[in-house]
Amino acid sequence: MSSASDRAAAPVVHVRGLATGAGGKILLRDATFDLHRGEVLGVVGASGAGKSVLLRTIVGLTPAATGTIEIFGEELGRRGQADLRRFGTRWGVLFQDGALFSSLTVAENIMVPLREQLHLSPALMHDIAALKIALVGLPPDTAEKMPAALSGGMRKRAGLARALALDPKLLFLDEPTAGLDPIAASEFDGLVRDLKESLGLTVFMVTHDLDSLMAICDRIAVIVDQRLIIGTLAELVHNPNSWIQAYFCGPRGRAAQITEAANG
C-alpha cells in the first residue's frame, strides 16, 4: 500500500512555470503552485486578468505557452481522446454560465456523464440525477425543465449538479456563486465544505465572492501584474501590493472579514 499512500501525499494538481494567455497575448507568467487533496483554492484577480484562462489551461482546453501541468500525478501534455475520457471521470468542471446542453433537460444533462462513463440502469441514473439536483438545492421539478427555462442562478446550480454527477475527486468551478442569492451562495459554501470534509474533495475555484473566499478557501491565489501570488488570507492581507490591499482591505473585503470572524 506504499504506492497508494505516496499517491495520496502527492499533489492533486501540480503546476510549474506555467505561462498562458488568450488571443496571442500572455496574461500569466511563471505560475507555480501545488493543490493538495482536500484543499480549496480560490483564484481572484481583476476582470480580464486571466482567471478563467488559467482554469481552461489546467483542464487542457487552452494550450499552455510554456510550463508543465500534472493532474493526479499525470502530465497534461498532448492528450488523446482516451486520456480525456479517463480524466472526465475524475474531475468535474463548472463553466461560468453552466454550459448545459441546451437540447437536453436538466436531468438528462446530469445523466450524460453517467451514461457515457458507466453502465447503470435508467432507473438508477434517474435516482442519482434526482439526488444531485437535491444536493445543489434545486427543487425536484427542475429535473424535467429545459435549460432555456431556467434562471441564471438555477443554470449554474444545474451545471454544478452535472459536474458532481460522477463524484469527482477534483472540482474546477468558474464563479460558482455569481448570480446566486446570498442564501443559495452560503448553502453552496456549506455543500462544498461538507463534500470536502466527507470525501476529500479538492477544489479549484475562480470567484469574486469575498464571503465564499473567507468561508471555504484554504488558500487564495491572486493574479496581479501577470503573476500568481498564493497564500492564506492572513498572509495576503499583509501583502504590500496595492491591488491586493484594495481587494482584501477595501470596504467590502473588511465587511466580509468581520462577518467571517463573527461566524468562525
Please state the length of the chain: 264
Pick from 106, 195, 185: nearest CA to 153: 185
Q: Which residue stretch of 2-10, 60-68, 191-199, 255-263 sits at the interface with other proteins (rule: CB under 8 A)? A: 191-199
List of residues 6+ apart from 47 with CB closer than 8 A: none
116 interacts with other proteins by CB under 8 A: no
Sign for the CA dihedral angle at 235, 175, 13, 261 comes to positive
Pick from 92, 237, 87: nearest CA to 173: 92
Q: How far is the CB of 178 from other proteins (least distance, A)?
A: 17
181 interacts with other proteins by CB under 8 A: no
Pick from 208, 102, 108: nearest CA to 150: 102
Q: Which is nearer to other proteins, 194 or 235 (CB)?
A: 194
Of 140, 246, 254, 258, which lies in the binding site for other proteins, with binding defined by CB under 8 A? 140
Pick from 48, 54, 150, 146: nearest CA to 97: 150
Q: How far is the CB of 157 from other proteins (least distance, A)?
A: 12
131 interacts with other proteins by CB under 8 A: yes
Amino acid sitting at position 94 = L
- CA–CA separation, 261 and 249 (whole Å): 14
Q: And the C-alpha cell for 4?
A: 497508494
Q: Which of residues 2-41 bind other proteins (CB under 8 A)?
A: none
Q: Which of residues 34-93 bind other proteins (CB under 8 A)?
A: 89
Q: Which residue stretch of 8-16, 48-56, 130-138, 236-244 sits at the interface with other proteins (rule: CB under 8 A)? A: 130-138
Q: How far is the CB of 76 from other proteins (least distance, A)?
A: 22
Of 199, 246, 255, 258, which lies in the binding site for other proteins, with binding defined by CB under 8 A? 199
Q: Which residues sit at the interface with other proteins, rule CB under 8 A? A: 89, 101-103, 105, 107-108, 114, 118-122, 124, 126-135, 137, 140-141, 143-144, 146-148, 164-167, 190-191, 193-195, 197-199
